[in-house]
Structure 1
């Protein structure tokens, strides 16, 4: 994809383009189908041409990583890295304060997230793990980027809209309002062109693409055939939606998760409290029996067989048998990851060294990008 890089002085307030309309509205079936089709093309090409891609993914250190994170995205990190794709993992510490009054135990959580990444197979010699706050040049991109979006566009972003509705009238911070622009800076500073997302995050990626396009159109570059920013594309996974132990959305803030760092005993204790129902006959029925089906899916993801097969094997054994089987499957699956994680967590100096190395590489790339941005804006003096 080669967007126009022609010089233009038009404002971001001009009539919305088709892409802008797509950003402003929810992802419709047609655009989602196109995104899925393009994602499948990229997946097929990744092992054949890994050098074409730089992948960026990010996690906010607002709590400890859990099984929803693992099956949602973390388990793909090492395979992508092992294909030879340049893999970047952002510890989004600045984003902690977008919707919070403080940072909490931020240092502990950043190091915990670093240990989690390494424990699932991320190799710091081949991948870059870095922290938001340690890369000033990347954050400096917020200034020119904010000039390329309108207030109404920011308010239309689904995440911003959802957060505003959830505040119950509380004033929104400027950082929360500009959260989509901050995400765009995260993606574009390192020239990532591959971003694993769920369909609900597609508007954020479209915002990043629009900012890149608008920047190149407004400021251009001496070499017209080479835009300043690569255009990021979505890698849409088929991650299952795991519910929390209470049957609600799995969330660090709800305390309804099984954390990667939990021991086998802690996992067993947590799963004993998992919500099920009163029917002793175990069946896989996600719509009619979501809590029971959630445990069946979790056991299946951990290698116990298909959800339907597991349900049939338990039969009328009831919730107790289901929870025991699920506990055994989870603890067996995660035993090597947890053992590795325990070793890593005990060596803080190593975790700090991994972050320092990743931060150094991120700063090199960010400085280079900022130099290109300043040159394009004729501010290289």
Structure 2
């Protein structure tokens, strides 16, 4: 069945950045007042070991929300890496490495649901009716999809890549999540989800809202640069992995780019590489970047790197110790995934049954 052209949605830009920032501040207060009213969906693609950028960008916040009492669903998006042959050929290893990182940083499987795309058929089945509610033009102009295609190393782009925003909508809506922690660059993806929820309710809801329109909890995550001065990324080989040992961490930080000025200051605009290292030390030490920079003063880049190395290794020590425990018990790791998949399947099955009833296709 061909997609029916959709009229422009009023409020399609309602989650513009400034509005999203203001609303996010309100949501943060509501979460603290009544965490039980919120269900969060978040997750990652299993493409390699998670690093410090991930930790301070998203992982730390997930654990914070979990500990506040928010219901947390964490998807390991294994279907979304099928476009990368190198990753797909070693998928089991990548999925388990991701789950190990989650457990190590404090995601508690007794309070949160960790699951994989491929193990929840009903979730993926939702993508078909959802695709009927968006146009090809909308997918084409999604800035996140454009960025994925621009940075793809493939000679041809598969159709799966164009479905990423709709697949993400299925991730969020299958469990009826009403809150999604995102960075500003992910707002277009979330707006697709909100549009799909709104359009499904209008077309099939018969006056009732089958799906909530999830809201963005904007991350105030600090920008940490990689050791080469560019964005920290698994694919660029410039990241400090959470699973790296103390010696590897020291080696990576020793090779990090700085600048020619001996005096250490914190000025991200004019001294981004030095400032990123100062910020990393500050985050690990629980101090302000200005305090860290002032303490180092004119001692130079060597002193800065030693401060960062000591701070990072001390901060990561308990995380690495927990990870080592889980590595030694792969049976427990697989049990966590198995039980999380079972919980996610039960939720997805119930949602799909509701969707079929609303669409008069409950045969």
TM-score (norm 1): 0.91
SS of the equivalent of 1:46 reads: helix
Alpha-carbon deviation of 1:260? Answer: 0.4
Q: CA deviation at 1:249?
A: 0.9
1:60 maps onto 2:31 in alignment: no
How far residue 127 of structure 1 moved from its aligned partner, in angstroms, is: 0.6
Determine the structure 2 residue equivalent to 1:8: none
Cα deviations by residue, 1:258-288 (Å, 9 ceiling, x for unpaired): 0001111111011111011121111111111
Hey, which bits of structure 1, 4+ residues long, moved more than 6 A?
Answer: none
Q: Please state if 1:18 is matched with 2:35.
A: no
Equivalences for residues 128-277 of structure 1 within 5 A = 128-167=113-152, 170-221=155-206, 224=207, 226-277=208-259
Aligned to 2:352, the other structure's residue is in SS state helix
Shift of 1:37: 1.3
Show the counterpart of 1:6: none
User: What are the Cα deviations for residues 131-181 of structure 1, in whole angstroms up to 9, with x where unaligned?
Assistant: 011000000011101110000000010111123333589432110011110
- Tell me how far apart the structure 2 counterparts of residues 169 and 266 of structure 1 sit (CA, whole Å): 31
**Alpha-carbon shift at residue 42 of structure 1 (Å):** 1.1
How many angstroms does 1:316 deviate by? 1.7
Write the distance in 1 (CA, Å) between the matches of 2:87 and 2:227: 27
Work out whether 1:306 is the aligned partner of 2:298. Answer: no
Distance 1:320 1:121, change over 3 A: same
Find 1:321's aligned residue among 295, 303, 322: 303
Q: What's the CA shift for 1:202?
A: 0.6
Change beyond 3 A, Cα 1:233–1:12: farther
Distance 1:263 1:168 in 2: 30
Distance 1:277 1:45 in 2: 43
Q: Deviations along 1:11-50, whole A, 9 cap, x unmatched? A: 7514322344x39xxx8xxx21211111111110112212
Q: 1:18 to 1:170 in 2, by over 3 A?
A: farther
Q: Distance in 1 between matches of 2:6 and 2:338?
A: 43
Cα 1:309–1:81, aligned 2, differ >3 Å: closer, same or farther?
A: same
Kindly report the root-mean-square deviation, in angstroms, between the aligned alpha carbons of the 2 structures: 1.7
**Distance (whole Å) between structure 1 residues aligned to residue 150 and residue 72 of structure 2:** 35
> Is the Cα–Cα contact under 8 Å of residues 99 and 176 in structure 1 kept in the other structure?
no
Note if 1:89 corresponds to 2:74. Answer: yes
Alignment pair present for 1:349 and 2:292? no
Secondary structure (helix, strand or coil) at the match of 2:88 reads coil
Aligned partners of 1:374 and 1:380 also within 8 Å? yes
TM-score, normalized by length of structure 2?
0.95
Where 1:130 maps in the other structure, the secondary structure is strand
User: Who is 1:38 aligned against?
Assistant: 23
2:47 and 2:87 in contact (8 A); partners too: no
Distance in 2 (alpha carbons) for counterparts of 1:97 and 1:86: 29
Cα distance between partner residues in 1 of 2:286 and 2:35: 32
Structure 2 residues not aligned, in runs of 5+: none
Q: Distance in 2 between matches of 1:78 and 1:134?
A: 24
Q: Cα distance 1:250–1:273, how it changes in 2: closer, same or farther (>3 A)?
A: same
Question: Where do 5+ consecutive residues of structure 1 fail to align?
Answer: 1-10
